[in-house]
A and B are shown apart, each in its own frame.
Chain A
Amino acid sequence: MISDITLGQYFPGNSPVHRLDPRFKIILTILFMVALFSARNIFVYAAMTLFTVLLILASRISLRVVLRGIRPLLFILLFTVILHVLMSTRTDGRLLIEWKWLTVYDMDFYRAGVMVLRIVLLVLGTSVLLSYTTTPISLTDAIEALLKPLSAIRVPVHEFAMMMTIALRFIPTMLEETEKIMNAQKARGADLSSGNPFKRIRAMIPVLIPLIVSAFQRALDLATAMECRCYRGSKGRTKLVKLTARPADAAALFLFAAVLAGVYLGNYYIPIGIRIG
């Protein structure tokens, strides 16, 4: 099935989130990000966390699977915490450690925590809204539709979308090819998996060169095949897929706009709690 396309791992389903129009989903994602980064106090953050959890529940993707998506970020999160705690120049709160130029205040921990929460919510929210619940192909269609106005100022929107589609189409093919070449090189005694990282990167060169050469050959073949199928850009072209918005999409848009408004009101009217940033 379409879900087999490996990029950004799509989880097939028929939840309310899955059924949203991809164009709306992109807009919703932007609203979500703005709301998240506009939040200025702890209660608003708590509300955003709750909202994200509700979003995950609405997508009917298991919480465990979604949380697994954070694992690759652990290093970045750790790094964020260290930077915020050690390198902060702010001097508020209680002084915990003072050693030469190094000062650590309790507020530094607080700010680091908020930063981590922000990143985690960002990743969870966007992946549930987009990559987990939207097929790459409908995402491409949506981007093409949303950028359409730009074609008035000669931005090659259709060509851009076509390139994305082709890239998506060839990812699995190229992965397969990489594996084949790696096996071929291993069969000739190439050592691809030992030694220090530099050595390993060097060992990849005999894999990458044939891969790139074959990619060019494929590109040439594909271009010929496309021409033979009468492709000439967006000129006179019709489309099979038509994106249609439903009332649910408008409702979702309204909900997200309300959340964004709520964040601003919260920032303004809840003076208690500690302000961040």
Chain B
Amino acid sequence: MSHFIETRNLTFEYGGENGERPIRALSDVSLTIDEGEYIAILGHNGSGKSTLAKLLNLILIPTAGEIEIDGKTVTPEGLSDDEVFDVRRKIGMVFQNPDNQLVATVVEEDVAFGPENLGVPREEIRERIDAALATVGMTEYARHAPHKLSGGQKQRVAIAGIIAMMPKCIVFDESTAMLDPRGRREVTDTMEKLNRENGMTILHITHYMEEAARADRVIVISDGRILMDGTPREVFSRVEPLLACGLEAPQGTELLYELSLCGLPLPTGRITVEECADALEKLLSGKQGKTRDV
């Protein structure tokens, strides 16, 4: 069965001009992504996670290895402009800085930008704008100027701009990094909604563990290699390798881990705040029970 995205020994190096030694950002990455998945990609700064995102959208071309995107194979030779265009309409991308990706001076005209580029007829652009703004909950701001919006709202407009292009997959390249907690929640809620309700493939590149925990699958990248790949529960249970590559586990998980290092009988694989609290409560009540017995 063929996958939606498949990378085979994907390698990317940058620099290397003027006789300098090239720097390897990704080496030998092989992974598969199916349609409809909700994946978080974790990694510390410089781990190569953003490079992976840029390769998926053909902003970068692999140095070695290849990526297959919806049946189209990208090799180090690159693709023709029309083929690039075809790939990009399937994979949308939302970036980090909400200010630097909005083009127009009115929200709805910005959302129209993508469909206009695709050559969508005028009446259909109108429908797509309305649907996209409704999906991200920004309908009432359609005629507003983007610079008057909050960070989270701007990022939702940027997402609407991508949704209106009707891609199969959206890559969020640290799209929550510059937002306040409220904005981050707005954006992650939108991602989840797109995945659950519209069946869109979501790739969320982040370094916030709590956000990654909401995905169905977590891929940890360190030094350009895939370190872990599994469900959030599997990945976050392995606190040691996470800490070793400069990441952290969700706070609760890390607390349980530290306590279990001290010899307390605590379970692993608890990732949400509630689960961790339950585990602690169980432990404490158990203890109390014991002391009463004695």
Whether, in the assembled complex, B89 has its beta carbon less than 8 Å from a beta carbon of chain A, the answer is yes
Asked if A172 and B120 make an inter-chain contact with CB atoms under 8 angstroms apart, the answer reads no
Q: How far is the CA of A229 from the CA of B95 in the complex (A)?
A: 12
Asked if B122 and A238 make an inter-chain contact with CB atoms under 8 angstroms apart, the answer reads yes
Q: How far is the CA of A74 from the CA of B117 in the complex (A)?
A: 46
Indicate whether A221 sits within 8 Å of B109 (C-beta atoms), given known contacts A173-B147, A231-B117, A232-B117.
no
Please choose the segment from B138-146, B196-204, B261-269 that sits at the chain A interface, where 4 or more of its residues have CB less than 8 A away: B138-146
Residue from A5, A136, A169, A227 within 8 A of B102 (CB atoms): A169
Indicate whether A227 sits within 8 Å of B99 (C-beta atoms), given known contacts A137-B105, A236-B119.
no
Contact with B along A218-244 (1 / 0, CB 8 A): 100110111111111000111111100
Asked if A228 and B93 make an inter-chain contact with CB atoms under 8 angstroms apart, the answer reads yes
Whether, in the assembled complex, B277 has its beta carbon less than 8 Å from a beta carbon of chain A, the answer is no
Indicate whether A2 sits within 8 Å of B105 (C-beta atoms), given known contacts A230-B118, A232-B117.
yes
Q: How far is the CA of A240 from the CA of B132 in the complex (A)?
A: 15
Chain B nearest CB, measured from A164 CB (Å): 10
Indicate whether A228 sits within 8 Å of B99 (C-beta atoms), given known contacts A169-B105, A237-B117.
no
- CB neighbours (8 Å) of B145 from chain A are 1-2, 4-5, 172
Whether, in the assembled complex, A176 has its beta carbon less than 8 Å from a beta carbon of chain B, the answer is yes
Which chain B residues numbered 146 to 171 have a C-beta less than 8 Å away from chain A? 146-148, 161-162, 165
Asked if A230 and B102 make an inter-chain contact with CB atoms under 8 angstroms apart, the answer reads no
Which chain A residues numbered 178 to 233 have a C-beta less than 8 Å away from chain B? 217-218, 221-222, 224-232
Chain B nearest CB, measured from A145 CB (Å): 15
Asked if B165 and A230 make an inter-chain contact with CB atoms under 8 angstroms apart, the answer reads yes
Closest to B121 in A: A238
Total chain B interface residues with beta-carbon distance under 8 A: 43
Total chain A interface residues with beta-carbon distance under 8 A: 33
- CB neighbours (8 Å) of A5 from chain B are 105, 145
Chain B nearest CB, measured from A267 CB (Å): 42
Whether, in the assembled complex, B112 has its beta carbon less than 8 Å from a beta carbon of chain A, the answer is yes
Asked if B99 and A173 make an inter-chain contact with CB atoms under 8 angstroms apart, the answer reads yes
Residue from A226, A232, A241, A242 within 8 A of B81 (CB atoms): A232
Indicate whether A230 sits within 8 Å of B95 (C-beta atoms), given known contacts A169-B102, A239-B122.
no
Whether, in the assembled complex, A116 has its beta carbon less than 8 Å from a beta carbon of chain B, the answer is no
Whether, in the assembled complex, A168 has its beta carbon less than 8 Å from a beta carbon of chain B, the answer is yes
Asked if A239 and B116 make an inter-chain contact with CB atoms under 8 angstroms apart, the answer reads yes
Asked if B85 and A228 make an inter-chain contact with CB atoms under 8 angstroms apart, the answer reads no
Whether, in the assembled complex, B208 has its beta carbon less than 8 Å from a beta carbon of chain A, the answer is no
Whether, in the assembled complex, A165 has its beta carbon less than 8 Å from a beta carbon of chain B, the answer is yes
Residue from B89, B106, B112, B148 within 8 A of A230 (CB atoms): B89
Whether, in the assembled complex, B97 has its beta carbon less than 8 Å from a beta carbon of chain A, the answer is yes
Chain A nearest CB, measured from B112 CB (Å): 4
Asked if A229 and B161 make an inter-chain contact with CB atoms under 8 angstroms apart, the answer reads yes
Asked if A1 and B117 make an inter-chain contact with CB atoms under 8 angstroms apart, the answer reads no
Asked if B99 and A229 make an inter-chain contact with CB atoms under 8 angstroms apart, the answer reads no
Indicate whether A221 sits within 8 Å of B101 (C-beta atoms), given known contacts A229-B117, A230-B88, A240-B109.
yes
Residue from B59, B81, B88, B112 within 8 A of A240 (CB atoms): B112
Whether, in the assembled complex, B100 has its beta carbon less than 8 Å from a beta carbon of chain A, the answer is yes
Closest to B91 in A: A228
Whether, in the assembled complex, B104 has its beta carbon less than 8 Å from a beta carbon of chain A, the answer is yes
Q: How far is the CA of A234 from the CA of B9 in the complex (A)?
A: 37
Residue from A165, A232, A240 within 8 A of B129 (CB atoms): A240
Q: How far is the CA of A228 from the CA of B94 in the complex (A)?
A: 9
Asked if A168 and B113 make an inter-chain contact with CB atoms under 8 angstroms apart, the answer reads no
Asked if A221 and B95 make an inter-chain contact with CB atoms under 8 angstroms apart, the answer reads yes
Asked if A228 and B105 make an inter-chain contact with CB atoms under 8 angstroms apart, the answer reads no
Chain A nearest CB, measured from B260 CB (Å): 44
* Residue among A226, A227, A230, A238 with the highest chain B CB neighbour number at 10 A: A230
Which chain B residues numbered 59 to 118 have a C-beta less than 8 Å away from chain A? 59, 81, 85, 88-89, 92-93, 95, 97, 99-106, 108-109, 112-118
Asked if B89 and A224 make an inter-chain contact with CB atoms under 8 angstroms apart, the answer reads no
- CB neighbours (8 Å) of A241 from chain B are 109
Chain B nearest CB, measured from A178 CB (Å): 14
Whether, in the assembled complex, A34 has its beta carbon less than 8 Å from a beta carbon of chain B, the answer is no
A229-B117, A229-B162 given; 5 more Cβ-contact pairs under 8 Å: A169-B102, A226-B113, A228-B59, A230-B165, A237-B117
Q: 10 interchain pairs (CB within 8 A)?
A: A1-B143, A4-B145, A165-B104, A176-B147, A221-B100, A228-B57, A229-B92, A229-B113, A230-B85, A240-B129
Q: Which residues of B contact A (CB under 8 A)?
A: 57, 59, 81, 85, 88-89, 92-93, 95, 97, 99-106, 108-109, 112-122, 125-126, 129, 143-148, 161-162, 165
